[in-house]
Amino acid sequence: MLPTRASVEDHRFLSLFGRWLLHPALWRLSRRSVAGGTAAGLLCGLIPGPFQMIGAGLMAVTMRWNAAVAMAVTFYTNPLTIIPLYLLAYRLGMAILHPGEPMTMADITPPDFDITQMGASFTALWEWMVSLGWPLALGLVALGVILSVAGYFIVWFGWSWSLVWARRRRRLRREIRLRSQSAAQSRS
């Protein structure tokens, strides 16, 4: 499924970046590269607009993390999750900028989203985001950092746990096989 070196080198636009895009670390499935790709995707997934995958890809290329994982993870933000995440980010930003100040969610009611009027709905969403100002901007950065650090460690330790679990299963199967072989030898 991954592009070959020749297809990247032959592509008119991608050939300009072939040296960076063909680095083996960007496509390797290792604990470090997948955990890093997850962190990049979680951080860049909160970038407003259509620049999430570009940001995640650039971050993965820079850090030599798995680029495919980084770009795929950005899909956690979508039309269903973006407003709740931005509301959470706004609350987080308000808590950082104005600790202890009471806030009701009625103050920041998001616009209605009409699927038949996509252009107008996205314009209204953009205007709503801009009206939330610095608390949203700071909250997005803080939430992105929190999610990316949590995602990195969850993948890192989850990968480690799965390796330990697989090793234990192999050891158990080997012990069962040896017991059955020794039982068969003792019977004969």
Span 69-117, pLDDT tens digits: 998 999 999 878 888 898 899 889 989 988 877 776 666 777 777 778 8
With respect to residue 137, please indicate whether it lies within any of the assigned structural domains. Answer: yes
With respect to residue 188, please indicate whether it lies within any of the assigned structural domains. Answer: no
With respect to residue 121, please indicate whether it lies within any of the assigned structural domains. Answer: yes
* Rounded Cα distance, 10 and 175, in Å: 52
With respect to residue 122, please indicate whether it lies within any of the assigned structural domains. Answer: yes
With respect to residue 177, please indicate whether it lies within any of the assigned structural domains. Answer: yes
Range with top average pLDDT, 26-35, 63-72, 91-100, 158-167: 158-167
Instruction: Judge whether residue 179 has pLDDT over 80.
Output: yes
Cβ atoms of 26 and 61 closer than 8 Å: yes
Strand, helix or coil for residue 87? helix
Q: Which domain holds residue 139?
A: 5-181
Cβ atoms of 44 and 52 closer than 8 Å: yes
Q: Which of 128, 134, 130 is nearest to 98 (CA)?
A: 134
What are the helix (H) ranges across the chain?
Answer: 5-10, 18-21, 31-44, 52-63, 67-73, 82-97, 118-187
- 14 band by pLDDT with thresholds 50, 70 and 90: low
> Domain count of the chain?
1
Instruction: Judge whether residue 29 has pLDDT over 80.
Output: yes
